[in-house]
Chains A and B, each alone.
Chain A
């Protein structure tokens, strides 16, 4: 089907949830009020590492509060993230702990009639702590003399020992790096550090749980996955999944912080079961900031290259500071190797990764899952290579990038597929022209207070975690679609929408396939009881995998519609087509080439209803067998104030290959959003720790955790977005993902722009004005 034949794909339609959100009528967990509901609060450790000697809840209970301590919870260790195979599932958490390992870890919980009462009760829980020596630095943590954070944890069902605080160590390779570096005529290396970024999702992680009379529970959680939430709750509380109903409720964004069950959800369930009443928990921002962050990484990287610019080898060592719990460190180290392998055709590569426990807030996936960190390092070094070889950085990238026909590692070494669509060349060539690449400032030649620089950074992200054979990551989706008695369509999917418009995209995919206007297709409110499994909206898989599943099911429903319509029109279903008629606000079914004689979809639905034929419906699952990369390239212009070290981003050109664009406005918005958080990652976002208290220096407050505001961003008309002319053969109508790809290359492009402006290579994120000014002064002293 040629793209101009689409009636909805690629066109702008208002998002389905837009009106409700703008009018403030969209319901979030915090809005729901149930009869007899209590309000829950978590008692959190003020210490980074301690053992509880005594816990006394009697004073809180005297207030009438329900109190929950570690003794009230099944002693089950779990991993917040389900979605991988048990043999790679590292379990070190319990719902509440008597040995808190970071400031803010949940040690007890209270529930009372109001939030105020709950807070007062919380302050009356008496706890004696024995303080243990905290370990805050990941490098120091690995030394034999360091205090141990964990002695043993559970891997699958097996108890394993933790040595030197190393949660996981992995070595992943391909080819022969010795041979590769021997072939190299230039070797460059560098050490890169990235910050401990907080997700800063608009809605804090909340939960509401109602115990049911059959011993089951109903849960309204903030999550990216209702089914995995259900599975984990089933594991912990030993309730059959058929009696756990997890509702999908609109969420205020995640950025990865809800890809796993959040720590507050099982606490809420525990409280509700004990109270035998519904309990709602809506933490404060400072509690939320003590719950999750991005994986900060130290990356040592060495690249080998021939004089003609052909890369020959890559060697990367990674230390990821995972904090107090291992949420998905095994996967992280695997994907970091994959992101390296899939950027350029190294052929010979070796990755040695260590994920290290520290007494800090546990890290988890955040937009890019290790990719922004690796891409920053690689794109910085690739620029250095270009300079040393006297090659244009754009040409060097064009020579080496992993492209159509090459193998792409979508999710570490066990999830690989062959690239079938790739717009990298178009991104680089068109982007370079749009930014004025040929006229960019010459490095080292600028004078004056304000110095300008332009940098390029490219990257990608996987669309899902599918491969020809299933890997260690579970990855499938499903949908149930039915045509209602009036011809309107219900789409019942467990897919989540984090605000990017994923569910509206699914509605469009279904409308496109069924040949009905988008207005006829709606996304039903759902829960785990009424939907088939969907792993999660993570890994940039929403449209590609979840939308793909909906597309598959829509085809099945369409077949049924056409078979029935064939009888009505006295024609073979194979000869029929459905076309969306936006005037009739209906789908029109006719024999191809003879539109005069037709029936509409609503006529067909009514006919089937009145004749008691049944409902046109289908439910099915889909496992995508590919993980196509969405490619994104950034050209970023900065201005550096050499007297203050302040960096302003003045112009951005971003080229994106997300296959067929489902909704151009929302796709562009994804790029703007990715740019925003990417610039934050590059320039400002971080959570420091106070060595004395072991707590965040910002205390968990947004007052001192700064995100860039619109005033720090380039003017909107200085951000030019374009989409490449590509189509992914395995995606719904040619679509792939976009979300995480939108962020991954930003920091590399910023670093390269800063180098272009100042001649200084910045290797530690965030690149604050303090660091810039210091580096400029050191450079002045040297020269």
Chain B
């Protein structure tokens, strides 16, 4: 039987002061090394013996890693920003509502104070709350590798449950959000067993609105496939068309058909599919309302 109280395996801890230093350690130790930020996932995994790194690289002392700032081009969120920071940020709350709602919905206060948005993405849980919100908000992620940075769309980060496209010697350093356009709105919805829990299903939408027309539409759902996923067929039904009840119903239905949920101990496939439709619809209504308001 596992022991959730102690980490029995010996490991070495390296607190680093720069991303380059972290990348160098990753290059040296490869799969034996793991980045640790808030530790809310990795320490649990280590206690349960699910991951057994020999080296932990602490990145929270890297200058700027925990900064959240407005830039001319939008918002830059350091990978080490905690969920509490994201939730407490006025700019996120006012202009990136889906992300605000997602951060707010994350687990408990203790986890929000420790867990980081970058860690959440790199953990690549299909049930991540930040992922659907960031997907619909058009997030880019900045990745530091040996001697170079690369910038990719968030969708290209996720490969499978717990799997990312990061190379062994790469680390996520920041998330970039484009500036919201006028007439845009977003929303996040989550259904969980209790409020402080992983999602049975979560979802976020982004709409661009002009009058009664939906110019842009992005829908992402979580906990219903191997990664957080965009429901692109559903999006295409809405995009460029009049936003009305009938279309809304069709979009929500399509979104629930596009996904591949499973039955696990949090919920059933049948339930997940059914409520995916509901939360898509509800999120769209909310975002639409916000876009107009």
Chain A positions within 8 Å of B, measured between CB atoms, are: 44, 46, 104, 115-116, 119-120, 123, 284-287, 290, 643-646, 684, 688, 697-701, 704, 706-709, 711-712, 769-770, 773-774, 777
Contacts and interface: CB of A to CB of B under 8 A. Distances in A.
Question: For the complex, would chain B's binding face be called helix, strand, loop or mixed by DSSP majority?
Answer: loop
Contact of A711 (B195, B266, B270, B275): B195
Contacts of B271: 645, 769-770, 773-774
A616 B3 CA distance: 52
Given A115-B6, A770-B267, A706 B197 contact: yes
A285 B4 contact: yes
Nearest to B8: A119
Contacts of B265: 688, 697-698, 704
Pick the 8 closest A-B CB pairs, nearest first: A711-B195, A643-B278, A770-B271, A706-B193, A697-B265, A44-B1, A644-B275, A706-B194
Interface residues of B, number: 22
Nearest to A690: B265
Interface string B1-12: 111111010000
Contact of B6 (A116, A287, A700, A774): A116
B5 A284 contact: yes
Contacts of B193: 684, 706
A287 B278 contact: no
A700 B4 CA distance: 10
Contacts of B191: 644, 646, 769
A503 B3 CA distance: 35
B4 A774 contact: no
B268 interface: yes
Interface in B259-283: 265-268, 270-271, 274-275, 278
Contacts of B3: 119, 284, 286
Contacts of A701: 4
Interface string B145-181: 0000000000000000000000000000000000000
21 contacts: A115-B5, A116-B6, A119-B6, A120-B8, A123-B8, A286-B1, A644-B191, A646-B191, A684-B193, A699-B2, A706-B193, A706-B197, A708-B194, A709-B196, A711-B194, A711-B195, A712-B194, A712-B195, A769-B271, A770-B268, A774-B270
Contacts of B194: 684, 706-709, 711-712
A378 to B, nearest CB: 28
Contacts of A684: 193-194
Question: For the complex, would chain A's binding face be called helix, strand, loop or mixed by DSSP majority?
Answer: loop
B8 A290 contact: no
A701 B6 CA distance: 15
A386 to B, nearest CB: 32
A485 B275 CA distance: 70
Nearest to A707: B194
Most buried by A among B1, B8, B274, B278: B1
B145 to A, nearest CB: 34
B192 to A, nearest CB: 9
Contacts of B196: 709, 711
A284 B4 contact: yes
Interface in B1-43: 1-6, 8
A706 B265 CA distance: 11
Contacts of B274: 773, 777
A704 B266 contact: yes
Nearest to A44: B1
B291 to A, nearest CB: 23
A290 B1 contact: yes
Contacts of A44: 1
B2 A286 contact: yes
B4 A286 contact: yes
B244 to A, nearest CB: 19
Contacts of B278: 643-644
A707 B194 CA distance: 8
A397 B66 CA distance: 62
Contacts of B268: 770
Given A115-B5, A116-B6, A119-B6, 8 more contacts: A104-B1, A644-B191, A646-B191, A700-B1, A706-B193, A711-B196, A770-B268, A773-B275
Nearest to B7: A116
Contacts of A773: 271, 274-275
A697 B264 CA distance: 9
B4 A46 contact: no
Interface string B115-141: 000000000000000000000000000
Contacts of A46: 1
A709 B2 contact: no
A614 B278 CA distance: 78
Contacts of B195: 709, 711-712
A688 B5 CA distance: 23
A113 B8 CA distance: 15
Contacts of A712: 194-195
A777 B41 CA distance: 37
B48 to A, nearest CB: 9
Nearest to B4: A284
A281 B265 CA distance: 31
Contacts of B6: 115-116, 119
A46 B2 CA distance: 10
Interface string B185-218: 0000001011111000000000000000000000
Contacts of A706: 193-194, 197
Nearest to A696: B265
Contacts of B5: 115, 284
Contacts of B197: 706
A12 B258 CA distance: 60
A119 B194 CA distance: 33
Contacts of A286: 1-4
B89 to A, nearest CB: 22
Contacts of B8: 116, 119-120, 123
Nearest to B278: A643
A780 to B, nearest CB: 12
A231 to B, nearest CB: 30
Contacts of A709: 194-196
Contacts of A284: 3-5
A781 to B, nearest CB: 14
Interface string B85-126: 000000000000000000000000000000000000000000
B1 A287 contact: yes
A114 B222 CA distance: 42
Contacts of B1: 44, 46, 104, 286-287, 290, 700
Nearest to A46: B1
Contacts of A287: 1
A199 B1 CA distance: 20
B60 to A, nearest CB: 24
B19 to A, nearest CB: 31
A718 B1 CA distance: 43
A712 B197 CA distance: 12
A688 B8 CA distance: 29
A645 B193 CA distance: 12
B250 to A, nearest CB: 16
A644 B203 CA distance: 14
A290 B3 CA distance: 13
A688 B267 CA distance: 12
Nearest to A643: B278
B13 to A, nearest CB: 17
A431 to B, nearest CB: 28
B264 to A, nearest CB: 9
A644 B8 CA distance: 42
A777 to B, nearest CB: 8
A774 B5 CA distance: 39
Contacts of A774: 270-271
Interface in B202-259: none
A138 B8 CA distance: 38
A149 B47 CA distance: 33
A44 B191 CA distance: 36
B55 to A, nearest CB: 20
B283 to A, nearest CB: 13
B120 to A, nearest CB: 16
